[in-house]
Structure 1
Amino acid sequence: MTEGRHFRQVDVFSAEPLLGNPVAVVHDAEGLSDEQMQAFARWTNLSETTFLLAPTDPAADYRVRIFTATSELPFAGHPTLGTAHAWLEAGGVPAGEGVVQECGVGLVQLRRTDGRLAFKAPGLIRSGPVEPALAADIAAALGVGRDEILDIAWADNGPGWVGVQLASADVVLGLKPDFAAMPVDVGVIGPYPEGSECAVEVRAFCPHAAGTTEDPVTGSLNASLAQWLAGGVLPASYTASQGTVLGRRGRVHIETDEAGSIWVGGDTLTTILGTAAL
């Protein structure tokens, strides 16, 4: 007989239900095999499903494994916020001032900022220039001229992102990518006019890493884009919009602290609470 495990589905990066990015969180996942975790993640058909485990590092409050429908990720942003929300809501008590998550990239710090959970962006695995041939292929897949890309760089903190800067939010919203031709997972960003509610519009095209085509609201991508552009092209702290073309209203709050670290925050709320037969 299968065992019922506590389960939450958390909407992340929205203060209103159904307008953010959902993550499935399985509590007390000890004893589940890799195959069981992957099968459940495939069944939920969400961009990510997470499994809460006891930490192996004494500095961590909990350990999490993060699965897409097709593979395991060392780190992802909206699952980090959603899992921390679920752990706290279920009665988790941090050992220190903030929450410390253990995952594939190591320890990730979380804190509450203005009532929202925020994670400290982990270091980039890969940064710097993109090879000219790859940049040309990305432009073609996005359906824009290479000269329309203001800047392009590796911005990989685990999922494998390449960041693309375009001239405006309207250009970003108007993209109709050829996903079959997209050589890597790509995050695109463009500014709104000064004085707008949000500084930028972001879109995440991920036909490779997430087993989907476009992710609604993406913490890892917003973290790496901020590490690339905040304090230079963009303000040190700002709010990003994402998910507009998918009928979502994601809001990602970027803050740069005095030490220069990037914090990525968003609202979180539980939309489904129950047990999962695993």
Structure 2
Amino acid sequence: MKLNYVLLDVFTTTRLQGNPLAVVLKADGLLDDQMQAIAAEFNLSETVFIHKPQSERHSAAVRIFTPKVELPFAGHPTVGAAVALAMQTRSTAVRLEEKVGVITCVMDRVDKEKGHARFALPKLPEEIGKPPSHAAIATALGLELDEIGCGPYEPAVYSAGNPFYLIPIKDAAALRRIRVERRGWDENFPIGRGSIYVFTRTPDERDNDFAARMFAPGMGLGEDPATGSAAAALIGLISRHEGNGQHEFRLRQGHEMGRPSLISMQLRKDGDVLTHGGIGGDAIVVGEGTLNLGD
């Protein structure tokens, strides 16, 4: 069995930046354990497998795997898969069947090497639990107690398909200084896979409104360069502090890893209720190849 794949860098227009992604095409013949093994072989934060959709109205069904687990939804695989499919079909919209639901990605622009996709969240973020104490968070991040919190933002736990501990901290300098302490992690962050999204406002940075870092030891990852599903969860917390109407924000991630990424976030509130959330970003092809899986 031989399968073609595409490598893309997502949430960037520059190769060797952003979050790398493998998209395996025409993967219908693969079993679950084979897809998990291939994702472990690529050893990227996520690998996407393209399957025929259940509905003829949709473009594809996708399965998303980290090196250790399958995910029902993830942002950078959604953007990357949409761009990869749009390059083949020249579509202006791509409908993807994911385990979290059907996602419609609108292609703002696409050519033979790169594109920009944005999509409405199939599941709006909701608060799903309680965070640990400020003291426990400070210890886990190697920060001082007074560096936990940012303006009106306090730690919270949200999910828009994947659960995340959302941890606001004082400023971008504190974000750079994080030194993760793994001891006690499972006890302090028991919800989901113990993934945390540390963020801060960046009022002194012209190109973005927020900066973030994501750590997910339970997903087979250390630090992730760009995490759309975490940004989707963050929309829920941000919306609590915004008025009615449409709001747009830009978030940078991955700078501390040398993989600069930029994620766009949109939200709308009507009657003080979050009614829309959206994620967008660029993707660029880095390489193509063939998997040789034998007979």
TM-score, normalization by structure 2? 0.84
Deviation of the 1:62 alpha carbon: 0.8
Q: Which residue number in structure 2 is paired with residue 176 of structure 1?
A: 179
- Could you tell which deviates more after superposition, 61-70 or 189-198? 189-198
**Distance in 2 of aligned mates of 1:233 and 1:181:** 34
**Distance in 2 of aligned mates of 1:186 and 1:258:** 25
**Distance in 2 of aligned mates of 1:233 and 1:205:** 27
Alpha-carbon contact 1:121-1:224 (below 8 Å) kept? no
Aligned match of 1:157 in 149, 156, 160? 160
Q: Which residue number in structure 2 is paired with residue 118 of structure 1?
A: 118
Q: Which residue number in structure 1 is paired with residue 207 of structure 2?
A: 197
Deviation of the 1:173 alpha carbon: 1.9
Q: Which residue number in structure 2 is paired with residue 105 of structure 1?
A: 100
How many residue pairs get matched?
Answer: 271
Alpha-carbon contact 1:230-1:237 (below 8 Å) kept? no
Instruction: Tell me, yes or no, if structure 1 residue 127 matches structure 2 residue 137.
Output: no
Alpha-carbon contact 2:239-2:269 (below 8 Å) kept? no
Stretches of 4+ aligned residues off by more than 6 angstroms: none
**Distance in 2 of aligned mates of 1:8 and 1:123:** 28
Aligned match of 1:15 in 13, 16, 23? 13
TM-score, normalization by structure 1? 0.88
Q: Which residue number in structure 2 is paired with residue 138 of structure 1?
A: 137
Amino acid at match of 2:157: W
Question: Residue 73 of structure 2 aligns to a residue in which SS?
Answer: coil
1:144-182 Cα distance to aligned partner (Å, 9 max, x none): 345532211112233321111112122112211113433
Q: Which residue number in structure 2 is paired with residue 273 of structure 1?
A: 288
The change in CA–CA distance for 1:156 and 1:244 in structure 2 (over 3 A counts) is same
| Unmatched 5+ stretches in structure 2 | 110-114, 187-193
1:97-146 Cα distance to aligned partner (Å, 9 max, x none): 6322111111112113476211212325751551545x653332112345
Q: Which residue number in structure 2 is paired with residue 64 of structure 1?
A: 62
Instruction: Tell me, yes or no, if structure 1 residue 185 matches structure 2 residue 195.
Output: yes
**Distance in 1 of aligned mates of 2:242 and 2:43:** 36
Alignment of 1:206-221 (within 5 A): 206-209=216-219, 211-221=220-230
The change in CA–CA distance for 1:178 and 1:62 in structure 2 (over 3 A counts) is same
Q: Which residue number in structure 1 is paired with residue 83 of structure 2?
A: 85
Deviation of the 1:51 alpha carbon: 0.4
**Distance in 2 of aligned mates of 1:226 and 1:191:** 14
Amino acid at match of 2:173: D
Alpha-carbon contact 1:9-1:272 (below 8 Å) kept? yes
Question: Residue 9 of structure 1 aligns to a residue in which SS?
Answer: strand
Question: Residue 48 of structure 2 aligns to a residue in which SS?
Answer: strand
**Distance in 1 of aligned mates of 2:101 and 2:37:** 24
RMSD of the TM alignment (CA)?
Answer: 2.4
Deviation of the 1:231 alpha carbon: 7.1
**Distance in 2 of aligned mates of 1:269 and 1:165:** 30
- Could you tell which deviates more after superposition, 243-252 or 174-183? 174-183
